[in-house]
Structure 1
Amino acid sequence: MIVEVVGAVVRDGAGRLLVVRKRGTQRFMLPGGKPEPGEDDLAALARELAEELGVSLLSARPLGVFEAPAANEPGRTVRSRPYAAEIEGEPACAAEIEDLRWIDPQAPDVLLAPVLEREILPAIRPFR
């Protein structure tokens, strides 16, 4: 089964990448989540960023479609549509988000979701 998600690739001035970890899980992933029925990617991304981090989505540019085994749903595949995103506000943990980090995408120092580690990071590393 395919789990469809959207994610925000948010960078700070030093080029670090924002990643989040949901409560009760071990792997960090891009902020974002599953679109609700009838919701387009940008609406879902804006909603998830507001709910999970208390920030507003200012702009988003699609970066592709990536698949890998799901981090938190055994036996499933995640299909991620990440967007290079600009946000407004200071990200803070809310809803199911237990932790957030700014990581160096060249040398992550936390355990990452497979789709982020294997597919998305290699694709975005050249872009600063």
Structure 2
Amino acid sequence: MPTIRIVAAVIRDAEGRWLLVRKRGTSVFMQPGGKLEPGEAAADALVRELAEELGLRVGADQLGHVGRFSAPAANEAGCTVDADVFTAPLGGPVEPLAEIEEIRWIEPTRPGDLRLAPLLRDHLLPRAQTPRTAAADLV
């Protein structure tokens, strides 16, 4: 199964809601982020992706590494994602840019009936339910 190397961000607002994005032509919501360029460090890739997709300006030194996870790719059948996930600050307004069609804020303990990417559904949201994990800073 082909593996796609990506980065993703958990971004919270003042109420503790998480920012999700849906790419144009898809129906699945996921964390903002994307694929690494050849030779690009994970944190640098996320800084670039957040600026391109949301107009959000953050520095690599503002990111908190949550972990590295593997999950079925949400939008590329038969592929797996290998994802470095970081927390990132919400340093200003965000808007859907580039390939992002829609953004949503969700309550991580009650995401509703949205179609969610496996990385989010199977790895990140369960950590929001269990604050004593290594990813306790997600909630």
TM-score (norm 2): 0.87
Percent of aligned pairs sharing the same letter: 49
In the alignment, is the contact (CA less than 8 A) between 2:23 and 2:99 conserved in 1?
yes
Partner of 1:100: 103
In the alignment, is the contact (CA less than 8 A) between 1:66 and 1:120 conserved in 2?
no
Unpaired segments of 5 or more residues in structure 1? none
Query: Hey, what's the Cα distance between the residues in 2 that align with 1:71 and 1:124?
Result: 20
Deviation per residue, 1:73-100 (Å, 9 max, x gap): 1011111111011132211000000000
Query: Hey, what's the Cα distance between the residues in 1 that align with 2:85 and 2:126?
Result: 13
Number of corresponding residues: 128
Determine whether 1:41 maps to 2:42: yes
Partner of 1:16: 17
Query: Hey, what's the Cα distance between the residues in 1 that align with 2:5 and 2:90?
Result: 22
Unpaired segments of 5 or more residues in structure 2? none
Determine whether 1:116 maps to 2:116: no
In the alignment, is the contact (CA less than 8 A) between 2:13 and 2:90 conserved in 1?
no
Q: Which amino acid aligns with 1:29?
A: M
Q: Deviation at 1:60? A: 0.4
Partner of 1:73: 76
TM-score (norm 1): 0.95
In the alignment, is the contact (CA less than 8 A) between 2:28 and 2:74 conserved in 1?
yes
In the alignment, is the contact (CA less than 8 A) between 2:109 and 2:128 conserved in 1?
no
Alignment RMSD (CA, Å): 1.1
Which runs of at least 4 in structure 1 moved beyond 3 Å after TM superposition?
A: none
In the alignment, is the contact (CA less than 8 A) between 1:4 and 1:35 conserved in 2?
yes
Choose the corresponding residue for 1:61, options 52, 59, 64.
64
